[in-house]
Amino acid sequence: MLTLYGTEVSSRLLLGTALYPSPAVMAEAVRRSGTEIVTVSLRRETAGGRSGGEFWSLIRSLGVRVLPNTAGCHSVKEAVTTARMAREVFATDWIKLEVIGNHDTLQPDVFGLVEAARILAAEGFQVFPYTTDDLVVAERLVDAGCRLLMPWCAPIGSARGPQNIDALRSLRAHFPDLPLIVDAGIGRPSHAAAVMELGYDAVLLNTAVAKAGDPAAMAAAFAGAIDAGRAAWLAGMLEPRDMAVPSTPVIGQAVFS
């Protein structure tokens, strides 16, 4: 089981709800994934409107836990205000905190992120910070009150997979008991398996599933890959070697000449 701010979940896949061809396709992908947590961005223009109400009703019908998202926020003030609104709309203290610093890469503004995290944690929010793979930033977020971290492995929606394995490995080693969830940049099930083999606790996906030819089938594929990567980590994998090692021993064997 995975414990996130005192809540236990069995699935290690968190799924986003944006970009799908239709609400019905999104709902089927959520079901096939087996996820217990979905992220939902608070859209101010639809939060109280008809389309927004219908969407929230669909999400509730799926029987999953909602992780509101401050996606699209580019300042501390905007992110904090959006988080407060999300708590009212969704009746949860959980918040996926994004403070975007660069329009092209969608890289987090780590300075604003730490500041916003400190404000929200002091107000009782349970913050899921979308951050880079920088170790010092991670330490600052923990000092600010975050009890888990969500580092990227590549820019949002890039589908490039892990770009800095050493940095991800360092984060895992530095925070052995802290839940670490890879968020952003994963494009293939093999990418998800790779980060889980590093000992990460979960993966958050959206674009790679929503934009697949068959989102529901892709969601199921990712779920299987995440389970396989986790099982491999727990089993203890063979580390790479510099030289070949025969699988059949030669010492003590008969020699024919």
Does 96 participate in catalysis according to the annotation? yes
Q: What is the pLDDT of residues 177-210, one digit of tens each?
A: 999 999 999 999 999 999 999 999 999 999 999 9
Q: Which domains does the chain have, with CATH numbers?
A: 2-235 (3.20.20.70)
**Of 129, 202, 146, 145, which Cα lies nearest the Cα of 172?**
202
Q: Looking at 96, 118, 140, 172, which residue is catalytic?
A: 96
Q: What is the pLDDT of residues 75-116, one digit of tens each?
A: 999 999 999 999 998 899 999 999 999 888 889 999 999 999
Measure the CA–CA gap between 108 and 238, rounded to whole angstroms.
35
Q: Does the annotation flag 206 for ligand binding?
A: yes
Q: Does the annotation flag 184 for ligand binding?
A: yes
pTM, 2 dp: 0.90
Coil, strand or helix: which one is 23?
helix
Q: Does the annotation flag 48 for ligand binding?
A: no
Q: What is the pLDDT of residues 106-142, one digit of tens each?
A: 899 999 999 999 999 999 999 999 999 999 999 999 9
Per-residue pLDDT for 248 more than 80? no
Q: What is the pLDDT of residues 221-236, one digit of tens each?
A: 999 999 999 999 999 9
Q: Does the annotation flag 185 for ligand binding?
A: yes
